[in-house]
Each structure stands twice: as structure tokens, then as C-alpha cells.
Chain A
Amino acid sequence: MDFFIQQIASGLTSGAIYACVALGLVMIYVSTDHINFAQGEMAMFATYLAWAMINAGVPYWIAFGLTIAVAFFGGLFIQRVILKPLEHAPVLALVVCFIALLSIFNAIAGMIWSYTIKQFPSPFPSHDLFGNGLVSVQQLGVVGVTLVMLGLLTVFFRFTTLGLAMRAAAQNPASARLMGVRVAWMLALGWGLAASIGAIAGMLVAPIVFLDPNMMNGILVYGFASALVGGIGNPMGAVAGGFIVGVLENLVGSYVIGNELKLSFALVVVVGVLLLKPAGLFGRVIVRRV
């Protein structure tokens, strides 16, 4: 039983991280209809920036905030400068572009910081929550940060007019323009947010898996799986999907297939959801009367 609870706890922890990655993917998908294959490497790169700052003596939380800000402008930049010219390009060109970004980020991180793994500090103590060895403060912290972020995003999209404008631009760009919304900037904003969220995911996961340029490879795949499970256009769904996938992965890993096939499990989830339930578990069907 204890083992089971531990598995659930660690499943929720990884689930929280998958949820962050999935949220970033959803953010970009919703605003531009693209699936960003570079999301993982962008997060990894941002995490290295945080690592460099912390190493230079910047206090953790300041580095945390700064990294989020830098990632935001980085995402904005990528959309405005690199992706803008490909606005009307076919899907293949975009996929190639994302793959190119993935390679570039990976290579540059390896070039500057080398491929040896690095320790990344955690802001949370690693000791037990109740002293019974089941749940650690660290795990609670990771889940907490994710939930807080989800809360902030929900407030942003529900209650601010900027968030509303972003949703409108994603749904019906032509009509949004006629309401005076600068649609191009809304897309860039979506990328900026996605990059920030990704940075958070990277900084949360780095203390657990250690920092290296390929750190996000597998996690990105789980992020895809989570986003798909939740319905790729739905932020709440993405988070729920993250937790579901995280827990399932741990249970399936410990009780059924062993830890060495976890990525194949993600593959099965991805292909399975795409085939059987493309709208995901929580994909909201939009009623439309013509």
C-alpha cells in the first residue's frame, strides 16, 4: 500500500510537469493551430539560463522570475521574427521550421554548457511531508506551482480583456481584427506565454532528472500525450491530462511493463488517443449554428 501511495505521489509530480509542458503546447496550438516540436528544447534552454544565473549567485526565486521573463520575450521573438514569414506556408514547412529550432536550441545548449549532466537546485526541501516516507515537500511544491500557474492562466483568460482578446483572435482572426484586436500580436503573445510556461516546466523538472541538453526529449513526448488526452485545445484538459498520464505512467511502469518501456507507453497513448478519441477526454465541442 505504501508503495502504491508513493507511486501515486510521484505520478502526480511528473504529471504536474507534463501538465506544464502540455499547457505550453496548448497555448501555441490554440493561438496558431501549430504543434510546436521545439517546446521541449525551448524549456531546456531556458532552464540553462536559470542555471547560469543561479551559478552566478542570483537568488533562486529571482532567477526563476527573470528566466520566465526572458523566455517570454524569446517566445515573442521566435514568433515575430522566425515564424511570421512562414504564415501562409504549408504544414511541412512549419514542421521543418520547428525541427530546425529544436536542433538549434539543443546544439547551442550543448555548445555552451556541454552535454555533461548538471545539478539543478530545487527551491523546496526534499524531506518528508509527514515523516512517513510517502510524500515529500518537493513533490507537493511541484504540484503546487503547477496549480498556481493554472490558476493564474485561468484568471488571465477568463477575466482580463487581453486574455479575452487572445481567445477571440485564436477563434476567429478575421472577426477579431474587426474588433480592433491586433491579431498578429496575440499570436506572438501566445508564443511568449508558451515559452514562459515551458521555462517553468524545465525548472521544475531539472532538479528531478538533472539538467542536460536532452533532458526534455522524453518529457516532451509525455507533454504531447497529456495535451492529447486532455483535448489539445483545452488548457484545463491539458492539466488534467498531465496528471492522468503521469499517474498512469507510474502505475503502468511499476506494475505492468517496467520502467524501460515508458516511452513506448507514451507512444501508445499518443497514437491511441489520436485514433480513438481525437478530441481528447475533455475536448469541448463547440456548438455552432450556421
Chain B
Amino acid sequence: MVALLEAKALSAWHGPIRGLYELDLTVEQGGVTALLGANGAGKTTTLRALCNMVRRAGTTTFQGVDISRRSTEDIVRMGVAHVPEGRGTFVALTVEENLRLALHTRRDKAAAMRDRDLVFGYFPILQERLHQQAGTLSGGEQQMLAIGRALMLAPKLMLLDEPSFGLAPLIVREIFRILRQINEHEHVSMLIVEQNAALALDLADTVYLLETGKVVTSGPSALIQNDEALRKSYLGY
């Protein structure tokens, strides 16, 4: 397999405080990589560093292109859709406007309209709520909207930051089912940050375990799933 995204010696800072220490990380073409770790391990920081949203060092390449110095906007425009922690809903815009925003960066308007139908296919509820102010959506609906917005960008890679956060188990399972479909049918590779390790291990093919800004271990998810000691000490189940 080919690496779609590759980070080498990625470090990041929040002001003077260092959050990441020379992390190496790869997302395969078509693959799903999970990033696991306790609260404050640096998972969100990693995703932000990949998109140049924080001060960072090290090299990142996407499809073989060095994106270490590109602006966040440019990285997004190259095909990296980041579903941020907290969902990043535009609360005063309607659902329809939240989705239409993607058209700002896309030239292929016809394809964009097809993508909109695709989003409605995955998340029919969004079509029902189309003209509602996005701030009034439920948490689960806002998460679907966030993933929908990302899909509208026709991405090659999705960075997902805790898509299960604050949601009922039933909805979480539903969202993970849809994520798998998106990965398989739309050929979107994924880098997913999760607290819910069991679900993430199910979905992912590769796993990185993070602790205080460093990779503790990494490998195929099957291996980690079967390593009881590792599971007990880091994933808590």
C-alpha cells in the first residue's frame, strides 16, 4: 500500500508549552488509522498540527507533496477534511448553508450537487432539517452535519476528532457504520481520534497509541486488540 499522509518527527506547541514530541505517523491510501490515548495525550494536537493549526515542526507530506508550510485553507483545498473536536458547527447558519459552504472552494458545481445527495443518502435527517438553524440541532445531528460538511469537500482524507463525543451508544454505532461505508464506497481514507477504543479498533486497520505527546506503540489493530496487557493498561477494557 502507498502512504497517503505521512508525518515525520512532528512536534507541536501551545504557546510555550510543548504538546507533541517528534511523532511519526502514516495513513495508508484507502486505510483507516486510529489514534488512541488518554485525555490530554495529544490526539487533538496531532490533528491540528497536521493541518497547520498550531505552531509545529517536522515534515508532513500528503500524496507525496510537502504540506508542512501550507496554510490550513490550502491543505483543506488539497483534499484533507478535518472534522474538528466540538464539531465546528456554524450555529447561526442553516443546515443547508452549512453544507453549501463547501461550494465556495469547489469548481465542479455539478459534482458538488451529487455529493449533497450523497450526504442526504447517508444522513437523511439532515434533509429533514435543511432550513433549520444549525445551532438548534441535537448533538448527534450536529456530528452528522460535521461529517456531511467534510464529505461536501470531496476529500481524499478525513481527520475525525472524537466523532462519538457526547453521543448515545446507539447513535455512535450508527455513525461508525456510516464511516465504514464512506471509507469503502467513497474511497475516503481516515485518521480517527477516539476515546471509544473498541469501536475505533473495529473500524481501523492501523492504530497508534499516544501518551503525553509521544507514540507508545503502533501497529495493525488486530495485533493491539489481541494484546491484553496493552489493552488493559492503555485502553482500559
Interface residues of A, Cβ cutoff 8 Å to B: 161-162, 164-165, 167-168, 171-172, 174-183, 284, 286-289
Contact = CB atoms under 8 A, between A and B. Distances in A.
A178 B92 contact: no
- Which of B81, B104, B136 has the largest number of chain A CB atoms within 10 A? B104
A180 B104 contact: yes
B137 A161 contact: no
Interface of B: 51, 53, 71-73, 76-77, 81-82, 84, 88-93, 97, 100-105, 133, 135-139, 142, 149, 153
A99 to B, nearest CB: 31
B81 to A, nearest CB: 8
B76 A288 contact: no
Counting from the closest, the 4 A-B pairs by CB-CB distance are A175-B88, A180-B105, A180-B76, A165-B104
B91 A178 contact: no
Contact of B133 (A165, A172, A177, A287): A287
Contacts of B82: 178
A287 B137 CA distance: 10
Given A165-B104, A171-B90, A177 B135 contact: no
A181 B90 contact: no
A161 B101 CA distance: 6
A253 to B, nearest CB: 37
A218 B153 CA distance: 48
A188 to B, nearest CB: 14
Contact of B104 (A164, A171, A174): A164
A179 B89 contact: no
A286 B102 contact: no
Given A164-B100, A165-B104, A287 B90 contact: no
A183 B138 CA distance: 27
Contacts of B93: 164, 167-168, 171
Contacts of A167: 90, 92-93, 97
A175 B92 contact: no
Contact of A289 (B53, B139, B153): B139
Given A161-B103, A168-B90, A287 B135 contact: yes
Contacts of B153: 179-180
A179 B104 CA distance: 9
